[in-house]
Amino acid sequence: MNAARITAAELFEQQHERLALRWIAGQQGAALRVVEAVDTVARRPSLAGYLNTIYPNKVQILGTEELAWLDRLDARQRWEIIQRLINYRPLALVISKNQLCPDDLRIAAEESDTPLWGSPLRGHELLNHLQYRLARTLAPRISMHGVFMEIYSIGVLITGESGSGKSELALELVTRGHRLVADDAPEFTQIAPDVLDGTCPELLQDMLELRGLGVLNIRQMFGDTAVKRNKYLRLIVHLSKPSLEARPDGLERLTGDISNRRLLDLDVPMITLPVMAGRNLAVLAEAATRMHILRSKGMDPAAAFMARHSNFLERAQ
Biggest CA-to-CA distance, the chain: 92
The DSSP element (H or E) to which 78 belongs, if any, is helix 75-87
The whole-angstrom separation of Cα 182 and Cα 197 is 12
| Residue 166 appears among annotated catalytic residues | yes
163 — phi, psi (to 5°)? Answer: 90, 5
Distances (CA, A) of 151 to 31, 196, 229, 279: 42, 16, 14, 19
Angle of helix 103-112 relative to helix 75-87, nearest 10 degrees? 30
Q: Which of 18, 84, 122, 145 is catalytic?
A: 145
DSSP state of 28: G
Catalytic, out of 133, 166, 178, 179: 166
Which residue in 113, 183, 184, 206 is the catalytic one?
Answer: 184
How many angstroms separate the CA atoms of 131 and 134, rounded? 5
Beta-strand pair 195-199/187-192: antiparallel
Contact of 129 with 107, CB cutoff 8 Å: no
**Which residue, 110, 138, 133, is CA-closest to 17?**
133
Question: CA dist 1 to 123, 148, 189, 204, 211, Å?
Answer: 34, 18, 10, 19, 28
Active-site residue identified among 176, 247, 253, 279: 253
Based on the residue annotation, tell me whether 253 is a catalytic residue of this protein.
yes
Instruction: Give the active site residues.
Output: 145, 166, 184, 253
